[in-house]
Amino acid sequence: MNTASTALKPGLAPSKTLGRQGYFTQRSVADWLFAAMILGGGLFAFQRYGVSMNGYEKGILTFAVPALIALGWFWRPLRLLTLCVGIASLSAIQLYGQHSDSFGADLAAADQVFWLKYMLSSQSAIMWMSVLFYMSTLFYWGGFFTQRGNNSTAELIGSKLAWGAVFMALTGTMVRWFESHQIGPDIGHIPVSNLYEVFVLFAWLTALFYLYYEARFKTRALGAYVLLVISTAVSFLIWYTVARDAQEIQPLVPALQSWWMKIHVPANFVGYGTFALSAMVGLAYLLKAATPRALLVGLVAVPAAVIVTIVATRFGAGLSPEVVAGLDGWVRKVAGLTAFFGLCIALRHKLTARLPELVILDDLMYKAIALGFAFFTIATILGAFWAAEAWGGYWSWDPKETWALIVWLNYAAWLHMRLMKGLRGTVSAWWALGGLLVTTFAFLGVNMFLSGLHSYGTL
């Protein structure tokens, strides 16, 4: 048979791969300039700070350079963010470098130099992050009550403020990393070691994932829902800062002096952030699709069930005087949560008028949970290796490990039911929303109510 004539027969489409450009040949001049900038920054970091790094840290930096280039090529807004964070962080380091003490930079300059005091020191930057996230939340919610259309001006401002908050959070994180190395020998560490630092990590990671999906699905109507959980985390961060002076940099406890921490914790919080995002999308789905009666019953029953679980876990079946004294606080929390959700139900028509179609919300829930589950699985495996190094065993049924397993099983079951049984609709949305409560207890509740090998994170 004549192959040439066969290829020209009507109805036979030419191969889609013919003439397709390769991944690197598609890159524009801007792409390669960004890559050169990141490569130059990596080489500068090696040259300037290499003496302070061990072999594992150098390996992480080596891997981070191509990873950041790939992310910038994949999503262009990350390029400007990376450039701005780099400039702001180096500016702060330069200002610190003008004031030295017997060991390194004098951290007292954070209270004396104008730009450090009001903008670029880690604490100032993180406070700016908090303010900007609050403002972003207000503008996103204000968008529901302003002009009609797919995206309101208020929501556009909210989106820009969220980007500003992510910028300040990343700047504060990078500067805090530098500050930790100026305290004394062997004290410096990546700032993901305590509740204060990981709440900052959670806030900017969750916001960044949301902003990506905001651009991909071309709607800002979900910003109010997702920023709500971020603002809640910021509120806890502020309380924790005031109540515990948590902003103070402390030396690592022996169990945390491991290179595993540098990859285990960020991977974990990719999971936490995307699980939180999926839960808030689930809330939006329920407000749009469920009946008011079902919403009211569910949104009262779920937090009440969690409180019962907490009481049973911490104190057992019998109610001691300590429990009775503490119940008033929990009742107020439930009452406030119920009142808020009741208001959401009363205003559901305004709050859901510009939401995407239900099928899009369902797809976004799935994508967020699938991504979070992949990273949470990796984090759990890395955590087992870390446990073997720190405590001599891969698994010890410590409360934190046990609840991490519960979180993993919860989302594994959700994905299994979706992929194998076609789980969709309000059931999957309720499950995603309930998953946030399970995840929150694993992340924070264990530290509050239980003790174990992970007690270095207690409140």
Q: What does 385-420 look like in DSSP terms, one character per residue? A: HHHHHHHS-S----HHHHHHHHHHHHHHHHHHHHHH
Q: Is residue 374 part of a domain?
A: yes
Report angle CA 240, 241, 243 to the nearest 5 degrees. Answer: 60
Contact residues for 285 (Cβ-Cβ < 8 A; gap 6+): 358, 361, 362, 365, 426, 429
Q: Of 201, 82, 203, 218, which Cα lies nearest the Cα of 136?
A: 203
Higher-confidence residue of 445 and 179: namely 179
Q: What percent of the chain stands above pLDDT 70?
A: 83
Q: What pLDDT sits at residue 450?
A: 64
Q: Is the pLDDT of residue 314 over 60?
A: no
Q: Is residue 408 part of a domain?
A: yes
Q: Is residue 129 part of a domain?
A: no
Question: 3-class DSSP state for residue 360?
Answer: helix
* pLDDT band at residue 389 under the 50/70/90 scheme: confident
Q: Is residue 212 part of a domain?
A: no
Residue with tokens 């995840």: 439
d(CA 156, CA 393) in angstroms, rounded, equals: 50
Higher-confidence residue of 430 and 399: namely 430
Please state which of the ranges 83-87, 195-199, 375-379, 392-396 shows the lowest mean pLDDT: 392-396
Contact residues for 323 (Cβ-Cβ < 8 A; gap 6+): 311, 315
Burial of 378 (0-12, 13-18, 19+ CB in 10 A): middle
d(CA 204, CA 72) in angstroms, rounded, equals: 17
* pLDDT band at residue 322 under the 50/70/90 scheme: low
Q: Is residue 32 part of a domain?
A: no
d(CA 447, CA 440) in angstroms, rounded, equals: 11
Q: Is residue 289 part of a domain?
A: yes
**Token pair in block for residue 425:** 């609709």
Q: What pLDDT sits at residue 198?
A: 93
d(CA 281, CA 198) in angstroms, rounded, equals: 23
Domain count within the chain: 1
Q: What pLDDT sits at residue 162?
A: 97
**Could you give the residue ranges of the DSSP H alpha helices within 143-222?**
153-181, 195-217
Q: What pLDDT sits at residue 93?
A: 93
> What pTM, to 2 d.p., does this model score?
0.87
Q: Of 76, 459, 451, which Cα lies nearest the Cα of 244?
A: 459
d(CA 68, CA 339) in angstroms, rounded, equals: 43
Q: Is the pLDDT of residue 306 over 60?
A: no
Contact residues for 163 (Cβ-Cβ < 8 A; gap 6+): 77, 81, 211
Q: Of 227, 119, 218, which Cα lies nearest the Cα of 172?
A: 119
Please state which of the ranges 2-16, 133-147, 299-313 shows the lowest mean pLDDT: 2-16
Q: 370 with 259: CB under 8 angstroms?
A: no
Contact residues for 353 (Cβ-Cβ < 8 A; gap 6+): 144, 148
Q: Which residues pair with 100 in a beta bridge?
A: 105
- Containing domain of residue 429, as a range? 278-459
Residue 262: how many CB atoms within 10 A of its CB? 17
Please state which of the ranges 41-55, 363-377, 438-452 shows the lowest mean pLDDT: 438-452
Q: Is residue 43 part of a domain?
A: no
Q: Is the pLDDT of residue 320 over 60?
A: no
Q: 181 with 187: CB under 8 angstroms?
A: yes
pLDDT (mean) for 291-313: 65
Residue type at position 311:
V
For the chain, the average pLDDT equals 84
Q: Is residue 76 part of a domain?
A: no
Q: Of 59, 46, 54, 87, which Cα lies nearest the Cα of 188?
A: 54
Q: What pLDDT sits at residue 4?
A: 45
Q: In the chain, how many H helices and how many E strands?
A: 17, 0
Torsion angles phi and psi, residue 105, rounded to 5: -65, 140
Contact residues for 120 (Cβ-Cβ < 8 A; gap 6+): 88, 91, 92, 95, 171, 175
